Structure 1
Amino acid sequence: MTDRPRLAGVRAVLASAALGAVASLGHAPVSWPAFTLIGLAAGIFLILRSMSPLQAGWRAWGLAAGYFGVTLSWLVEPFFVDAARHGWMAPFALFFMAAGLALLWGGAVALAHRISAPSLRWLSVAFALTGAEVIRGWIFTGFPWGSPGHVWIDTPYAQLAAYIGASGLGALTFLMAALLAQIAVPGQFARVRLLLAALGAVSAVGGFVAGQALENEPLPDDRDVTLRLVQPNAPQHLKWHRDHAYDFVRRQIDLTAATPSPGQPRPDLVIWPETAVPTLLDWTDDLRPAMAEAAQGAPVLFGVQRGDAMQYYNSLALIGPDGAVQASYDKHHLVPFGEYIPLGDWLDEFGISAFAARAGNGYSAGPGARLMDTGVAGNVLPLICYEAIFPRDIRAAPRRADWILHATNDAWFGDYSMPFQHLAQARFRAIEFGLPVIRVANTGISAVIDARGQLRDALALGRAGFLDASLPGAAPPTPYSRHGDLPLTVLITVALFGLLARRVTKAR
């Protein structure tokens, strides 16, 4: 390859990365979904102009690297909690995460370019990108953060997730972007362009109208249950500091005991966020009575670490009016390298215990999704932090809950994009399963989300306080709650094999 073609190839990859950055602007807090559609369409246009699978793969890699690099920019924040020790790692962590995830898009598109006929390449690229996103949600325990489908949360299109999930909305986004790209490809007949434009317009309008209809369907009445959401707003660099940690516990006790607004009843259930108590559950014998007294007869559900021999768990515990522990839940979907080291227990078999969770070096995973009986508030499905981004963890529950609790500590990740993106995903879980989601966060955003994914009320980011609210009613089970992503996975697999078969048949 001469220097000029090589330079042109590098420029195309850089241009693709810039378009990926534009596409990321659909995510919170910017929340301009049209930019996601435009950025992806322009990036796919460059892919469709590629002369080889390798060239297409590199351009798709650039598109994804720009997209994930901006969408996941919050990943640098934990390294600045102790900047003197860990700050230097931040840019490397973001680069390698974005570049690694981009390999899925690049590899999928290179394969799609090879197996499909030029006239149908736009379809194969859309299907391939969707398949890459499905894989991203599962490989290495999964990381489906920042799906293109998430950008539609504040539009009527979000309601379609009750049928196809956020991943299905991502598939529609790729298809629409690829359709726009194909319309712009030169050398087509005018009637083909017109047909494609009409198809896109009908799909967009039809989806909008269907989403509005779903959004306007009535929901059941709120339950006669008052919840108190407690948001202590403990900065991460002070949350576990020996001179400040119990000041934040005292703040939560005071917020629990606070008098309700005039006309508002006392809460029936008080909820504190993830790791609200900076010690082990077994060491809270003197603290739990004070918490129960502050709640004045209401149970308290709070985040705490739990120990069992040499294993430790990120947990939620429910205490009754006497301060005794009535139930607990252990987080089962842990963050790789954040809460545990993959293969750490396996290495312990060879005498290397520094990474072994069973030796107390990291969290151990709980047994799986489970319901917790809160008494007056019914059965709740607890999710701790990262677990709320996985619809499959909700489908894994033994039976349908009355509501979902999302307890989290987003203080690790700053106050720009991550808390807003995390909230958007919790709202999608409500739509997908037709269940209200109660979100309690250390620094915010604590929120009451109804079964249509709408925010009933919320505590602003970076504010200490409490929120008293009624528990919204649950909608009937949704199609997505029954089938999950299985129909989409089957569709993508069949479509790609169909394109391959067509190409082979034509070649013969």
Structure 2
Amino acid sequence: MSSMFFSSLRQRLIAAPAFQQQHRFSLGLVCLIALCAGAVLPLALAPYHFWWLAILSPALLYACLHQRSSKHALFIGWSYGIGLWFVGAFWLYTSIHVYGDTPAYLAVILIALMAIAMGVFSAVQAWLYRRFFPETPLTFAPIWVFFEWLKTWIFTGFPWLFVGYAFTNYGLDEYAPLLGIFGVSFVVILIASALTECLFGKRFWILPILLLIAGAFGAKQIQWVTPKDQAPLTVSLIQGNIPQDLKWLVEYQAQTLSIYATMSQTEWGRDLVVWPEASIPMFQTDIQPFLNIISDHAKAQGSAWVTGIPYWDVNNSTANKPLYYNSIMATGAESHGMYFKQRLVPFGEYIPFSGALSWVVPGVANDLALSGFSAGHDQQPPLMIKNHRLASAICYEVAYPNITRKNALDTDFLVTISNDAWFTGTAGPWQHLQMVQMRAKENGRWIIRATNTGVTAFINEQGHIVSKLPMDVRQVLRGELPAFTGQTLYSRLGDWTILLFCALLLILGLAYKPKVVDTRFKQRR
């Protein structure tokens, strides 16, 4: 009797793969599901905040890859990536079409091409997962994290749309001070794929899900940083709301300067007054008298002044290669320093292969902000503001976790200035702000964020927005900020902790990947 039972069970197990093969969805339908799964992930991020989609979206991809060949996985992953980037980065349309003078249809085509190119990351990720590793959340999550990390440096990087950002202020971000954004992403993907395994009947995955949630609660109890015993810094942020199509016009320069100078009149006397990125739309060599007047006035009132300004390095420039930098300048009372932006934004400060693409984006030819900047080096000192050390980040580079972490070491505050007028009316500025929140949480420091059109905000050391200005208004934001001391684990160790842990899981996955024993099924394939 028992021999008949085990014989019957053996036959069912042998037949199961063939049965699943016959009843699976077609590759085309699965790619369509993956495309839609990728397309909904951006809705989990700001400004929509449907955080649960950050669980559903990767869970669907995990299910779509179940028992698929590596060749099929390549197309499934590519479909997912195309959907993710076409929807998630569609805010590029405004800069390419409206400010780049590109026809609407061509702007959409360019975004689609970008999505196809960026989708290769997800394609290779899915192919590697199915080609070399066992099907388990313990390999799916580490590979996901490695490919998010790769997006921070390959071809200078495009570190956008990380799944962990969906949980900024939603509990799982408590892992950020320990492991950074990649640690948060790891936890999210592990939970998503583990839930999928539960649906496949493997209920034991409930336990690690509960442990990860409990871990976030435990991490919240750790006090990584403490406020310094000194008076808070009084800060005023000037949001000038200069339209992007007027910002760089020569005939509008005087009015731009007048707007910022007038708005600042009531703020001198506070510890720090901050103007946003490129709020002075001229090189320092062209406007030195104005800079001297504002700096002297700030000193007389006991205020520090920080402003964004294009900087021309006259001494090191050549006729063939002038060196222009997107910079932050600190001056005024007891203040000094200069910071040059390290990572430039494609289609925002330079056009890749600009000579070849000038016919596609004709607006680049006469716009310094699009085509003229060089990158600063990675060993720049902080700004000094009244015995406070301020780490700097300009616009796009705050999306790079490790750059911000290195700049923030041994500082009291972070200051980031931006001009998101390129993407006004889109999700781009809000996604950008969400990244700033995560940088504050990772490093345990308040962030001062001054922008041209929004979102101007003060963000505390927990990554919470304390106060902010509405978008597209001309207004001043005032705050009192406590300086903090101490370091988070992420500040000390950076991304290495989570990367090494993921590498260990993948090595174990390679070592223990089960061999194919069903030769009949293998022959049918």
Pairwise TM-score range, normalised by the shorter structure: 0.7 to 0.9
Conserved 8 A contact 1:371-1:379: no
Structure 2 Cα separation of the partners of residues 274 and 368 of structure 1: 19
2:142 is matched with 127
| CA drift at 1:442 | 0.6
Q: What is the one-letter code of the residue matched to 1:467?
A: L
1:162-196 deviations in Å (ceiling 9; x for gaps): 001011111111111111122223xx4xxxx3211
2:6 is matched with none
1:164 is matched with 179
Identical columns (%): 26
1:267 is matched with 270
2:359 is matched with none
Conserved 8 A contact 1:48-1:122: no
2:324 is matched with 312
Conserved 8 A contact 2:392-2:407: no
2:72 is matched with 55
| CA drift at 1:31 | 0.6
1:408-443 deviations in Å (ceiling 9; x for gaps): 111111233111111111111111111111111111
Structure 1 Cα separation of the partners of residues 98 and 290 of structure 2: 28
Residue 491 of structure 2 corresponds to residue 481 of structure 1: yes
Conserved 8 A contact 2:139-2:506: yes
1:407 is matched with 417
Structure 2 Cα separation of the partners of residues 501 and 275 of structure 1: 53
| CA drift at 1:504 | 7.0
Structure 1 Cα separation of the partners of residues 24 and 178 of structure 2: 45
SS at match of 1:182: helix
The alpha-carbon distance between structure 1 residues 344 and 493, as it changes in their structure 2 partners (threshold 3 A), is farther
Higher alpha-carbon Rg: 2
Structure 1 Cα separation of the partners of residues 473 and 341 of structure 2: 26
| CA drift at 1:316 | 1.3
Conserved 8 A contact 2:226-2:484: no
**Equivalence map 1:94-493=2 (5 Å):** 94-117=111-134, 120-185=135-200, 188=201, 193-204=202-213, 206-210=214-218, 212-214=220-222, 219=227, 223-258=231-266, 266-292=269-295, 295=298, 296-308=301-313, 309=317, 310-320=322-332, 326-336=336-346, 338-340=348-350, 362-376=372-386, 378-397=388-407, 399-493=409-503
Residue 513 of structure 2 corresponds to residue 503 of structure 1: yes
Conserved 8 A contact 1:275-1:304: yes
What is the TM-score when the length of structure 1 is the normalising length? Answer: 0.86
2:33 is matched with 15
- Tell me which moved more, 360-369 or 246-255: 360-369
1:255-287 deviations in Å (ceiling 9; x for gaps): 110268xxxxx3112110010011101111231
Residue 110 of structure 2 corresponds to residue 93 of structure 1: yes
Structure 2 Cα separation of the partners of residues 259 and 104 of structure 1: 47
The alpha-carbon distance between structure 1 residues 506 and 219, as it changes in their structure 2 partners (threshold 3 A), is farther
| CA drift at 1:114 | 1.7
The alpha-carbon distance between structure 1 residues 6 and 92, as it changes in their structure 2 partners (threshold 3 A), is farther
Aligned length: 475
Conserved 8 A contact 2:236-2:267: no
Conserved 8 A contact 2:32-2:79: yes
Q: What is the one-letter code of the residue matched to 2:71?
A: L
1:293-313 deviations in Å (ceiling 9; x for gaps): 664342311111111232111
| CA drift at 1:151 | 0.5
1:348 is matched with none
Structure 2 Cα separation of the partners of residues 175 and 115 of structure 1: 19
| CA drift at 1:7 | 9.7
The alpha-carbon distance between structure 1 residues 221 and 424, as it changes in their structure 2 partners (threshold 3 A), is farther
Structure 2 Cα separation of the partners of residues 311 and 497 of structure 1: 45
The alpha-carbon distance between structure 1 residues 478 and 212, as it changes in their structure 2 partners (threshold 3 A), is closer
Structure 2 Cα separation of the partners of residues 70 and 416 of structure 1: 11
The alpha-carbon distance between structure 1 residues 216 and 109, as it changes in their structure 2 partners (threshold 3 A), is same
SS at match of 1:143: coil
1:337-369 deviations in Å (ceiling 9; x for gaps): 543466899xxxxxxxx99xxxx9631222224
The alpha-carbon distance between structure 1 residues 424 and 222, as it changes in their structure 2 partners (threshold 3 A), is farther
Q: What is the one-letter code of the residue matched to 1:232?
A: G
Structure 2 Cα separation of the partners of residues 170 and 480 of structure 1: 14
Conserved 8 A contact 2:295-2:305: yes
Q: What is the one-letter code of the residue matched to 2:326?
A: N
Structure 1 Cα separation of the partners of residues 287 and 294 of structure 2: 10
Structure 1 Cα separation of the partners of residues 291 and 447 of structure 2: 26
SS at match of 1:277: coil
Conserved 8 A contact 1:370-1:398: no
Structure 2 Cα separation of the partners of residues 369 and 387 of structure 1: 15
The alpha-carbon distance between structure 1 residues 85 and 471, as it changes in their structure 2 partners (threshold 3 A), is same
Structure 1 Cα separation of the partners of residues 311 and 23 of structure 2: 59
Unpaired stretches in structure 2, ≥5 consecutive residues: 1-21, 356-363, 518-525
Q: What is the one-letter code of the residue matched to 2:286?
A: W
